[in-house]
Amino acid sequence: MIRVLITDDSRLVRGVLREIVESDPEIHVIAEASNGAEAVEICLKERPDIVLMDVQMPVMDGIESVKRIMQTAPTPVIVLSASVKSSETRSAFSALSAGAIDAIAKPHGIVSSETYGAIAEDIIGRIKLYYRVAKSGAAEGEEPLRDLEQITSPPVSSSVIAIGASTGGPRTLSALLSAIKPDFPCPILLVQHISDGFMRGFADWLGREISLDVVIVDHAMRLEPGRVYLPPDGYHLEVSRGAAVLSEAPPLHGCRPAVDVLFKSLAQEYGERAIGIVLTGIGVDGSEGALAIKALGGKVIAQDEASSVIFGMPKSVIERDAATHIASLENMPKLLSELASAHSEEGGGLFGSVQRVQDILVVDDSPTMRAVLYDILTAQGHNVRQAENGRLALQEVAREEPDLIVLDVMMPELDGYSVCRRVREDYGYIPVLMVTAKGSSEDMVRALEAGADDCIAKPFEPMELSARVQSLLRIRSLHQRLFTQNNELEAKNRELERLARALNRANKELTLLSVTDGLTKAYNHRHFQERFKAEFARSERYGTLLSVILIDIDHFKKVNDNFGHPVGDQVLVHLVEVLEDSVRKEDLVARYGGEEFILMLPETSGPRALLLAKRIRERIEQSAVEIDSSLSVRYTVSLGVASFEPGGKVQTAEALIAKADSALYSAKANGRNRAEMA
């Protein structure tokens, strides 16, 4: 039997959690605590197997409680957060730094049975998981992970690093990334499986824990060294053309974001420069992507079993022979630095101060011409790949997009014109330098029409070829920069649009708050007066009818005295609900003051207004305010009706209100629970 302590300052939440936990016959709640101090005391006396801990509590909050528990009675603590507000989720993750083993969402508010079931399954599953982990000795909740020694950053590197983690990931990531200095020359992309709504709080917390810059990607962001990129809730994270981008592709392994999606895009984009790291977590996410990275010459580090909280994801990678390295958390920062350093020599400095080596694909059916081009281009410091015909050239482009294609026109199987057109149709912008044998104007025109960026005729001068190549590579670099900047600009525009919409909503809410009563949501006295005076003036001008009804709750003080002010508040809310349900759209319901309310009825005669008042009185008398299963409150109202008619005795708006007030007084004097007309 798994013995659980529930800690939450809300009796209702504790009850819901007890119901969830004890729905499983293998789990028993041994005690409940209403604050962190009580939890520490119970842990010392009862020694529970698992603690469920709220964050925001009186007396002692969850963070301090976790610290005390780890010091006095080490126990696995699962932190529960009811809010997705960044302030509360940051607190939840701060509890991880204090020694908690996990942070998850708890049930709150009104949720569907499906959502409730998913939350219950998650809580029960994690209790059982961490119980097994604690019993196996892999994680006993003894104390926070100790800080790792900071590594010396490579001076420059062309590597791009992607990290995937799940259960137990936040603390592990904090320890790993804390060992990396801000001058680290590689960007880091991160997928952490986490409850919906928690990603922003996780990013804020991680940003405070480590010295690297942590950002949430918005559509597309250019990759920069020393920066950690996270996706927002509900999006996959990928890389494309030197940028971190988002995808709404279907979930993979039930996850979005998924590690496999990130790893596969990293393998396609960076090949041997890709470094994937698979950390602690349940499941197999990351193993397929790790295979893709390894297949294209990249490196994959899997966390070893001894240092993993849950040896699921790393185990899957190792069993599929997708890991090139297996490392403990303690040794991982040094290994990561060594792997990144390997590409400071091979790949230049894509994200550092040294210009990276450009990748050029030479396509020509003549071995002699390929050799000539190879010598010229490698002498300029470029990496050169070769293809002897158009079909093989397209396969090379599909494997990894080059920075430039030097393409012969006349080739067997597929000529240069056809290859160029296919590249333009199927890929982003890749500069093409077409090499023609004759150099005639007709050949030049055909090449440009096929999509070539430039042409050069055989025989050519090496100096001219090098100059044309450098020119096209500069265009390629500018194009990539403009593409990324355009994506960033679009993302900023969307953010500005989002902020504008949020500001508009906030302004509308502020406007609504300024004209409504906070409790009942009926219009307030000031707004009524403004609308009433305008409507009275309109009735005078056009000779239309206008009626008002003043409503007062009978013996309302007794309701407050007998049942308390919270019950009285519910009575007021109930009255407004009845009033709003009884009137037309063009009518107005307002709280006139205290327990008095008023209705403004444009183009309504006195008799019709009196009939409405009587119907409202009857509905109130026949209804009851259900407080809870053991208490319902009945009440009555008195109503005073007055009407403005063209040519009548009422000459001012104030006089009309005074007549309604006089009628209300008569209704009360005549026994209450009645409607009178002036």
CATH assignment of the domain containing 198: 3.40.50.180
Read off the pLDDT of residues 227-275 as tens digits, 9 standing for 90 and up. Answer: 999 999 999 999 987 889 999 999 998 899 999 999 999 999 899 999 9
Question: Which residues, 6+ apart, have CB-to-CB distance to 240 below 8 Å?
Answer: 220, 265, 269
Residue 322 and residue 380 in one domain: no
The per-residue pLDDT for 139 is 47
Band (617; pLDDT cuts 50, 70, 90): very high
179 in a structural domain: yes
516 in a structural domain: no
Count of domains in the chain? 4
Closest CA to 296 of 320, 319, 275, 317: 275
Residue 429 and residue 544 in one domain: no
Decide which of 346, 370, 399 is a domain's last residue: 346
Read off the pLDDT of residues 323-341 as tens digits, 9 standing for 90 and up. Answer: 999 999 999 999 998 888 8
353 in a structural domain: no
Residue 96 and residue 188 in one domain: no
Residue 459 and residue 579 in one domain: no
Would residue 49 show up in a list of annotated catalytic residues for this protein? no
Q: pLDDT over 70 for what percent of the chain?
A: 93
**What DSSP designation does 311 have?**
B
Catalytic residue among 81, 94, 97, 166: 166
Question: Average pLDDT of 280-302?
Answer: 94
Residue 109 and residue 190 in one domain: no
> Counting Cβ atoms within 10 Å, is residue 207 exposed (0-12), middle (13-18) or buried (19+)?
middle
Question: Average pLDDT of 584-594?
Answer: 95
For 248, the domain range is 160-346
Residue 214 and residue 333 in one domain: yes
**CA dist., res. 334 & res. 355, Å (int):** 25
The per-residue pLDDT for 110 is 47
Going edge to edge, which strands form the sheet with 2-7? Answer: 27-33, 2-7, 50-54, 77-81, 102-105
Residue 218 and residue 295 in one domain: yes
Question: Average pLDDT of 387-403?
Answer: 92
The per-residue pLDDT for 254 is 87
23 in a structural domain: yes
pTM here? 0.53
CATH assignment of the domain containing 105: 3.40.50.2300
Residue 565 and residue 589 in one domain: yes
Closest CA to 280 of 306, 260, 251, 262: 306
Read off the pLDDT of residues 31-88 as tens digits, 9 standing for 90 and up. Answer: 999 999 999 999 999 999 999 999 888 889 889 999 999 889 889 999 887 654 555 6
Residue 178 and residue 327 in one domain: yes
Read off the pLDDT of residues 112-155 as tens digits, 9 standing for 90 and up. Answer: 566 677 778 888 988 988 888 777 664 444 444 555 777 777 76
The per-residue pLDDT for 352 is 39
Residue 120 and residue 228 in one domain: no
27 in a structural domain: yes
pLDDT of 177 strictly over 90: yes
397 in a structural domain: yes
Mean pLDDT (the chain) is 88
The per-residue pLDDT for 438 is 67
Band (190; pLDDT cuts 50, 70, 90): very high
pLDDT of 422 strictly over 90: yes
**CA dist., res. 240 & res. 220, Å (int):** 9
Residue 131 and residue 223 in one domain: no
pLDDT of 348 strictly over 50: no
For 49, the token pair is: 């197997």
Decide which of 346, 376, 408 is a domain's last residue: 346
Q: Are 70 and 143 spatial neighbours (Cβ–Cβ below 8 Å)?
A: yes
The per-residue pLDDT for 85 is 52
**CA dist., res. 370 & res. 170, Å (int):** 51
Catalytic residue among 91, 158, 174, 193: 193
| Angular region, 675: left φ>0, alpha ψ -120 to 50, beta rest | beta
403 in a structural domain: yes
The per-residue pLDDT for 659 is 96
Decide which of 447, 479, 511 is a domain's last residue: 479
pLDDT of 603 strictly over 70: yes
Band (343; pLDDT cuts 50, 70, 90): low
**CA dist., res. 397 & res. 392, Å (int):** 9
Q: Are 95 and 53 spatial neighbours (Cβ–Cβ below 8 Å)?
A: yes
The per-residue pLDDT for 347 is 42
Would residue 632 show up in a list of annotated catalytic residues for this protein? no
Residue 372 and residue 336 in one domain: no
Would residue 285 show up in a list of annotated catalytic residues for this protein? yes
Question: Average pLDDT of 534-555?
Answer: 96
Q: Are 634 and 673 spatial neighbours (Cβ–Cβ below 8 Å)?
A: no
47 in a structural domain: yes
The per-residue pLDDT for 114 is 63
Diameter of the chain measured on Cα atoms? 115
**CA dist., res. 312 & res. 262, Å (int):** 18
pLDDT of 1 strictly over 50: yes
Q: Are 246 and 232 spatial neighbours (Cβ–Cβ below 8 Å)?
A: yes
For 161, the token pair is: 């690093």
Catalytic residue among 285, 403, 517, 661: 285
**CA dist., res. 266 & res. 163, Å (int):** 11
